[in-house]
Amino acid sequence: MDASITSLTLETKSMRPEIAGFQSRVTGLEQRMGLVEAQTTMSRDRDQDLLYLRSKLTGMEDRSWRDNIRLHGIPENEEGVDVQSFLRSILPKLTSLDFDPLIEFQRAHRVGQKRPGNSSRPRPIIACLLRHNQTRQILQAARKHGPFQLDQYDIRITADYSKERNDCRKAFLALRPRLRQLEIK
């Protein structure tokens, strides 16, 4: 028995460096695991902050664009060189509204690059009105009336929203018929 105890003692002594190596590896892994957990928590916090900031940015964009209207369907070059005077002349005719004071714009222009060739779909016009109540009146008239007629063209007037807001509205479109059916506004 003494020989077996002596051999076991020698084996355990020879294994001590390996055990110490395993212990240091385990300690190193525990430390790395702690760092990974801390980084994961920080990453989650950053993601939440990013989502919050993105929603704030979308809200700010939408508020800064709330006086904008988009006009779809007006043929290219119909407006000539002065888009504002063109819109000042056709908006009262289209909407049947009397604007007092007259409509004033901060800016008005076509959106995007000119499409190559004779594209059948004209670029929309964005107009930023100076007075918010006039923007609201035009959009209410557009909702009630639907597409307007200018010569033989159908003209739609819509609010101008950020891409994120448009994506949300597009996702909501599928629910609208069901909400109407349930008479929920």
- Strand (E) or helix (H) holding 134: helix 132-145
Query: pLDDT tens digits for 150-185?
Result: 888 889 999 988 888 888 888 888 888 888 888 887
Q: How far is CA 116 from CA 84, 108, 112, 125, 126, in A?
A: 25, 22, 12, 18, 20
Which class for 5: exposed (0-12), middle (13-18), buried (19 or more C-beta within 10 A)? exposed
Return the number of other C-beta atoms located less than 10 Å from residue 141's C-beta: 16
User: How much is the pLDDT for 50?
Assistant: 93
Mean per-residue pLDDT for 136-149? 88
**Whole-prediction pTM value?**
0.66
Which class for 91: exposed (0-12), middle (13-18), buried (19 or more C-beta within 10 A)? buried
Query: pLDDT tens digits for 120-131?
Result: 788 999 999 999
User: How much is the pLDDT for 1?
Assistant: 54
Query: pLDDT tens digits for 29-52?
Result: 888 888 888 888 888 889 999 999
User: How much is the pLDDT for 48?
Assistant: 92
Tell me what percent of the residues of the chain surpass a pLDDT of 70. 96
* Residue 72: band (very low, low, confident or very high) from pLDDT cuts 50, 70, 90: very high
Q: Is the pLDDT of residue 19 over 80?
A: no
